[in-house]
Amino acid sequence: MKYYLIAGEASGDLHASNLMREIRKSDPGADFRFWGGDLMKKQGGMLVKHFRDLAFMGFAEVLMNIRVIAGNLRFCKEDIRKFKPDVVILVDYPGFNLRIARFVKSSGIKVFYYISPQLWAWRSSRVRMIKKYVDKMFVILPFEKEFYAKYGYHVDFIGHPLLDLFSNEQQLVEKEPFLIQNNLDQRPIIALLPGSRKQEVSKMLGIMLQAIEFFPDYQFVVAAVPSITTEFYRKLLKDFPVSVVYNKTYDLLELADAAIVTSGTATLETALIGTPQVVCYKGSNISYLVARMIVHVKFISLVNLIMDEKVITELIQDNLTRENLVIELKKILPGNPYRENILHNYSVLKEKLGGAGASAKAAGLIVQYLVKNEVK
């Protein structure tokens, strides 16, 4: 069968690539065409557009790039029309994907959605759009099934795909080889995860670097992403005594005593690996003001949202200062009782997310629904 997938961010690229791998096990002749990244490309098929050319952060930034986004929408619709897939699988990225869903449904092509948009946080009115244009929804957070049920819409909860990556079978990182390969010294590590998009990295990394001078016994290491060039990081780091590690975020987190993490999927990844963290977020003033008016959640990190309580500290907008960052970072270093409380709650978090095998479950259901035509 022919599958057209759309993932607009690094996390979507990761989860979609694993989904593609599992689909091929059930459908060896699967023909993939997709918008995504390097991980999806490794699974075979045709990469149409890379996510680094699609990601715009915040309301103001989206408005500034509205013509580019409109052009991408037109191109995507025409590309789908020419490819004539059996199904279009949308992966998160709601601003773009929900517009595509309407077009695909009107074209008589099945629409599956893998990893639900966070409609429970804002614009719950969009559930009506989901019900109208999405044939099957596969959710990865336990409370999402109940959320959709309130609107009379059945979804499949398949567990969180990150659990597959951080299972007990995962090999431990060998510390000494890692330090040598990445030119790191013997001091304990504090990991910096400033994000995966240039806009957020530019803003967040500068703030994170302000804490360095208060922790001379630690080495700070930036977890760099492949979609951003080395030169870009160098300009931001300037003369700061900070190392950069590429494509080894999980290994870095496993060895780190603590992490400073930009809000997003990385907060959950950090928790599942077991690294205490401080979560940060700071957007443009316009974006933040708009968000406050329309976003209705108690927390911004997935960890706290899933647990429905404050497990890790969130420093947002004006609260994200050097002073607050230093105070909160000291609390989660070894020897502090607050750190032990975080680690205990991480264990509870894993239980709430369900067992491993999310990608395989989703792929199995997708192929089953297509082969048996079990679509509403």
Same domain, 181 and 317: yes
Give the number of other Cβ atoms within 10 Å of residue 212's Cβ.
17
Reported as type and span, the H/E element at residue 32 is strand 31-36
- Burial 67-93, CB ≥16 within 10 A → b, else e: eeeeebeeebbeebeebebebbbbbbb
Same domain, 207 and 263: yes
Identify whether 241 is part of a domain. Answer: yes
| Whether residue 296 has pLDDT greater than 90 | no
DSSP state of 274: T
> Confidence band (pLDDT; 50, 70, 90) for 48?
very high
pLDDT at 126: 83
pLDDT at 226: 83
> Confidence band (pLDDT; 50, 70, 90) for 64?
low
pLDDT at 121: 64
Same domain, 92 and 181: no
Q: What is the pLDDT of residues 274-285, one digit of tens each?
A: 999 999 998 766
Same domain, 346 and 361: no
Same domain, 363 and 348: no
Q: What is the pTM of this model?
A: 0.77
> Confidence band (pLDDT; 50, 70, 90) for 10?
confident
| Whether residue 292 has pLDDT greater than 60 | no
Average pLDDT (175-202) is 94
| Whether residue 288 has pLDDT greater than 70 | no
Identify whether 52 is part of a domain. Answer: yes
Same domain, 25 and 111: yes
Taking all residues of the chain, what is their mean pLDDT, rounded to a whole number? 89
pLDDT at 108: 95
Cα–Cα distance measured from residue 22 to residue 303, given in angstroms and rounded to the nearest whole number: 27
Identify whether 167 is part of a domain. Answer: no
| Whether residue 287 has pLDDT greater than 60 | no
Identify whether 115 is part of a domain. Answer: yes
What counts of helices (H) and strands (E) characterise the chain? 18, 13
Q: What is the pLDDT of residues 87-133, one digit of tens each?
A: 999 999 888 999 999 999 999 999 999 999 888 766 677 899 999 99
> Confidence band (pLDDT; 50, 70, 90) for 171?
low
CATH of the domain at 268: 3.40.50.2000
Identify whether 166 is part of a domain. Answer: no
Which is higher by pLDDT, 81 or 300?
81
pLDDT at 117: 87
Q: What is the pLDDT of residues 317-362, one digit of tens each?
A: 889 999 999 999 999 999 999 999 999 999 999 988 977 899 999 9
Domains: count for the chain: 2
| Adjacent-strand bridge partners of 277 | 259
Structural domain including 345 reads: 175-352
pLDDT at 291: 52
Same domain, 143 and 68: yes
Same domain, 144 and 196: no
Q: What is the pLDDT of residues 204-248, one digit of tens each?
A: 999 999 999 999 999 999 999 987 999 999 999 988 999 999 989
Same domain, 153 and 214: no
Cα–Cα distance measured from residue 146 to residue 121, given in angstroms and rounded to the nearest whole number: 14
